[in-house]
């Protein structure tokens, strides 16, 4: 593969932020993302671990984000996996990604317009949405760009989201049979240029009617028992459990039912994964697929020592998970114990493994999530990832390096 194959089209943010191509990790880069995740100073044990212990720092640590990224987006408080201590991420520690402005919306002025191919187009106030049946979901939201750059490893968090389900609301409005696709618009907007046409575009993503009618999809107004914080989409955002962050449109302003697919920036230019895929006849074809459902993934968060006892701890998410396996150096894959989250379909699982027979010196630790249907989180050098040319959906196995004294 030539290095030019690794290049990405440049759709704006790279220019805007003034980052050079070298600032990006392997998968090439166009749009830079933003994240703000504060470190938590209090250190508690992950669920499942008992007593105090010392965290042994990994030799590999994510580098600081490039200055240009910090300048453009403000202080970046990246999540530090070694400090992950709570299964639910507090709102003020939850990462955030916004591609346009961050609108401030007054609750009493808020309106959600339901337009297009419905028998009864309707406008909802915040109060009307809140008066509808309430539903909650614990859902781990990960930016599809997470782990796409060396310095972007903390674009993930888990919250208990509450709101009202879409399906009954859409059914009441009367979806017309020719309705195929539902477009969700945010109140944030920017200027986009396509084939020399300049236009104002709100942030938008669409779902097929089938996906939108899934019973767990919410018009969400609450995050961990609080009104949605402004940067997370106050007053109402879409929550699509099991999908990457980008599908979860914040500052929701309009929901439009249409008879065809939507070709906005975040469906067709950004958040499109480009791969060279081998066909059964040996040919290779280039594919461009829109980022949607989350992919199986796991991370080794830290190693804790208590005397001469060592415990490896981590998280796994991105689909129904059967188990997590851990490999030390070139040893066998060993099943870890899932300690938290088993009963929640859309939340990350926390896992631990007692590391026995530890010798002094340098070691590598790699984890892999195994799905209920037997699918396995791909190795970092798996062709499916090696032949991926964009940084989204970087769900390869992560190897951490550690030195035992
Ligand atoms: N309106 C709007 N919604 C949006 C975005 C955006 O820029 N504007 N960013 C998306 C992306 S790419 C991600 S990863 C998530 C991040 O959600 P958070 O900021 O609440 O963590 O919001 C999604 N929803
Ligand atoms: Mo994202």
pLDDT score of 2 = 32
Instruction: Determine which residue's CA is closest to atom 21 belonging to ligand 1.
Output: 96
pLDDT score of 76 = 53
Ligand 1 pocket test: which of 35, 90, 91, 98 has the largest number of ligand atoms within 8 Å of its C-beta? Answer: 98
pLDDT score of 5 = 33
Global pTM value = 0.88
State whether the Cα torsion 67-72-74-80 is positive or negative: negative
pLDDT score of 30 = 33
Ligand 1 atom, smallest distance to 100 CA: 7
Write the CA distances from 97 to 216, 227, 397, integer angstroms.
Answer: 23, 18, 24
Neighbours of 380 (CB within 10 A): 14
- Cα angle 328-331-332, degrees, rounded to a multiple of 5: 105
Ligand 1 pocket test: which of 149, 250, 291 has the largest number of ligand atoms within 8 Å of its C-beta? Answer: 250
Neighbours of 268 (CB within 10 A): 14
DSSP string of 110-155, one letter each residue: -EEEEEESBSS-EEEEHHHHHHSPPEEEEEEEE-TTTTSBTTB---
Ligand 1 pocket test: which of 248, 272, 291, 393 has the largest number of ligand atoms within 8 Å of its C-beta? Answer: 248
Distance 249 CA to ligand 1 centre (A): 6
Distance 98 CA to ligand 1 centre (A): 5
pLDDT score of 68 = 76
Residue 266 φ/ψ, nearest 5 degrees = -85, 0
Ligand 1 atom, smallest distance to 188 CA: 1
DSSP string of 320-384, one letter each residue: -EEEEEEEETT---EEPEEEE-TT-TTSPEEEEEEE-S--SEEEEEEEEEEETTS-BPPPTT-HH
Ligand 1 pocket test: which of 11, 72, 97, 391 has the largest number of ligand atoms within 8 Å of its C-beta? Answer: 97
Half-sphere exposure at residue 121, Cβ-oriented, CA atoms within 13 angstroms: 10
pLDDT digits (tens, 9 = 90+) for 292-332: 999 999 999 999 999 889 999 999 999 999 999 999 999 99
Ligand 1 atom, smallest distance to 233 CA: 20
pLDDT score of 405 = 87
Cβ < 6 A, ligand 1 pocket: 94-100, 141, 143, 186, 188, 203, 232, 245-246, 248-251
pLDDT score of 36 = 33
Distance 245 CA to ligand 2 centre (A): 5
- 190: nearest Cα among 72, 103, 97, 249: 103
Q: Which pair of tokens denotes residue 189? A: 């907007």
Distance 250 CA to ligand 1 centre (A): 6
pLDDT score of 70 = 66
Distance 299 CA to ligand 1 centre (A): 22
Residues of the chain whose pLDDT is less than 50? 1-50, 74-75
Bond before 235 cis per omega within 30 degrees: yes
pLDDT digits (tens, 9 = 90+) for 87-115: 999 999 999 999 999 999 999 999 999 99
């Amino acid at each position: 593969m030539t290095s030019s194959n690794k290049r990405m089209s440049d759709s704006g943010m790279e220019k805007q932020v003034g980052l050079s191509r070298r600032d990006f990790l392997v998968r090439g880069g166009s749009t830079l993302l933003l994240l703000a995740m504060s470190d938590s100073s209090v250190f508690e044990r992950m669920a499942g671990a008992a007593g105090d212990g010392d965290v042994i720092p990994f030799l590999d640590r994510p580098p600081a984000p490039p200055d240009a990224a910090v300048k453009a987006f403000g202080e970046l408080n990246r999540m530090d996996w070694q400090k992950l201590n709570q299964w639910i991420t507090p709102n003020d520690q939850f990462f955030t990604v916004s591609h346009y402005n961050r609108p401030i919306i007054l609750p009493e002025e808020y309106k959600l317009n339901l337009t297009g191919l419905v028998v009864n187009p309707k406008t909802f106030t915040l109060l009307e949405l809140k008066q509808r049946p309430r539903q909650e979901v614990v859902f781990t939201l990960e930016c599809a760009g997470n782990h796409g750059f060396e310095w972007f490893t903390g674009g993930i968090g888990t919250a208990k989201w509450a709101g009202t389900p879409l399906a009954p609301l859409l059914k009441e409005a009367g979806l017309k049979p020719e309705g195929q696709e539902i477009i969700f618009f945010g109140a944030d907007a920017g200027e986009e240029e396509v084939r020399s046409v300049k236009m104002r575009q709100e942030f938008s993503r669409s779902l097929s009617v089938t996906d939108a009618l899934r019973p767990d999809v919410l018009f969400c107004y609450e995050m961990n028992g609080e009104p949605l914080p402004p940067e997370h989409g106050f007053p109402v955002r879409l929550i699509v459990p099991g999908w990457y962050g980008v599908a979860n449109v914040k500052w929701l302003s309009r929901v439009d039912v249409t008879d065809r697919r939507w070709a906005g920036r975040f469906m067709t230019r950004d958040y499109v994964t480009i791969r060279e895929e081998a066909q059964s006849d040996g040919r290779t074809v280039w594919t461009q697929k829109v980022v949607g459902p989350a992919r199986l993934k796991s991370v080794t968060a830290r190693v804790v020592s208590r005397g001469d006892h060592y415990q490896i701890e981590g998280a796994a998410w991105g689909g129904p998970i059967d188990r997590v396996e851990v490999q030390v150096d070139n040893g066998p894959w060993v099943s870890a114990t899932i300690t938290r989250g088993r009963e929640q379909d859309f939340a990350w699982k926390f896992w631990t493994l007692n590391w026995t027979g530890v010798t002094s010196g340098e070691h590598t630790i790699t984890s892999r999530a195994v799905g209920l249907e037997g699918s396995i989180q791909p190795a970092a050098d798996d062709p499916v990832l090696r032949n991926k040319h964009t940084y989204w959906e970087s769900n390869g196995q992560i190897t951490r390096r550690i030195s035992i004294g």
